[in-house]
Amino acid sequence: MNIAARENFDKVVKLAIRSTGLIVIVLLGGIFFMLLYNAFAFFLKVSPMDFITGTQWTPSGKLASYGILPLLVSTTLVTIGAMVLAIPLGIGTAAFISEYAGKRLKNILKPAIEMLAAVPSVAIGFLGIVIVGPFLAHLIGQPNGLNALNGAILLSVMALPTIITVTEDALRGVPNSYKEASYGVGANKWQTLIKVTIPAAAPGILAAVMLGIGRTIGETMTVLMATGNAQAFPHGFLGSVRTITATIAIETGEVPYQTTHYFALFAIATVLFIMTLAVNIVGEYFVNRFRKYHSA
């Protein structure tokens, strides 16, 4: 090929690649607009006040009611439970890997955690039914143990790899000089970890927690399989709950196209979208702050 042909070809390819870039951006932007558009259609029929404050989600009843509160409380309950279980375990494990484990142990633990992250959520949900459920049922005398606690336990397992990986990055990012200064004044390894390393890595750990929460809120299959999905307002950890994700999963399959109920599912999906977006943006903010702080 002569030079002119090559340079023309270069221009064509550049144009093609640029347009695929734009296509992708349009497609992904489409998700956002699709959600907003359908949610807007919903709010033309149901007042936002009723949606936000309603305590009943009974879209198929005779007097359809679209209150998001029971779903929101369910999602919150399960998420809080999962975080209570996962945060201490996650930070502890990350600290062990970054501060105590030798190179060989690290080379076993890190792939193990990646393996844990790779287990599909439907498999975790299945184990919720066959292991955690019967275990809880035996413990508290319920017939099947499908409740908020079960969901929280499973979600904590799913959030752990994210929390561990990001926390470990944060702990490793703390400059050695901080630790050396601490050893210099006579602190031991544990005191250094608690008093120096963890506080210095705090923004990074917060980011880890946020990203873990983001994953937990949006998880569908595990909660769908393990929490019982009762439509009533949630009654605490030992009762059955139905999260936003589970509601979408259950009802979308049966709902007729472009009815109020159909739009309602997009409305709760929009709420879910905004929640995960907020959590992820906060998480990203802390990741960046941590980086800036330590590269300065």
Partner 1 sequence: MKKLTPIIEWGTLLFCTGTVCFYLFVILYDLIHRGAPSLSWAFISTQPSAGMTKGGILPAITGTVLLTLITAVVSVPLGISCAIYLNEYAIDSWLTRVIRACIRNLSGVPSIIYGLFGLALFVQGLRMGTSLLSAGFTLGLLSLPYIITTTEEALRRIPASTREAALAVGATQFESIRDVVLPAALPGILTGVVLTLSRAAGETAPIMFTGVAFYINSPAGYLNQEFMALPYHLYMLATQHQAIDVVRPLAYGTALVLIMVVFILNLTAFYIRYKHSKNDE
Partner 2 sequence: MTNDLIKLSAQSVNLWFGSKHVLKNINIEFQQNKVTALIGPSGCGKSTLLRSFNRMHDLLPDVRIEGKLMLEQQDIYEKNTSVTQLRRRVGMVFQKANPFPKSIYENINYGLKINDVPKEERDGIVEKALRESYIWEEVKDELQKPATRLSGGQQQRLCIARTVALRPEVILMDEPCSALDPLSTLKIEELIIKLKKDYTIIIVTHNMQQAQRVADKTVFMYLGEVIEMGNTDDIFNNPKNELTGNYVKGRFG
Tell me the closest approach of the beta carbon of residue 92 to partner 1, in angstroms.
3
**Binding at 4: pick from partner 1, partner 2, none (beta carbon under 5-8 Å per type):** partner 2
Does the footprint of partner 2 cover residue 2 (CB under 8 A)? yes
Does the footprint of partner 2 cover residue 180 (CB under 8 A)? no
Does the footprint of partner 2 cover residue 104 (CB under 8 A)? no
**Binding at 253: pick from partner 2, partner 1, none (beta carbon under 5-8 Å per type):** partner 1
**Binding at 1: pick from partner 2, partner 1, none (beta carbon under 5-8 Å per type):** partner 2
Does the footprint of partner 2 cover residue 7 (CB under 8 A)? yes
Tell me the closest approach of the beta carbon of residue 1 to partner 2, in angstroms.
7
Neighbours of 20 (CB within 10 A): 9
CB-count exposure of residue 70 (10 Å: 0-12, 13-18, 19+): buried
Tell me the closest approach of the beta carbon of residue 203 to partner 1, in angstroms.
18
**Binding at 125: pick from partner 1, partner 2, none (beta carbon under 5-8 Å per type):** partner 1
8 A C-beta contact, residue 148 and residue 128: no
Residue with tokens 């937990």: 216
**Binding at 238: pick from partner 1, partner 2, none (beta carbon under 5-8 Å per type):** none
**Binding segment (CB under 8 A) for partner 2, from list 3-11, 64-72, 127-135, 176-184:** 3-11
Nearer to partner 2, 4 or 63 (CB): 4
Of residues 11 through 40, those in contact with partner 2 by CB under 8 A are none
Tell me the closest approach of the beta carbon of residue 264 to partner 1, in angstroms.
12
User: Where do contacts with partner 2 occur on this chain (CB under 8 A)?
Assistant: 1-4, 6-7
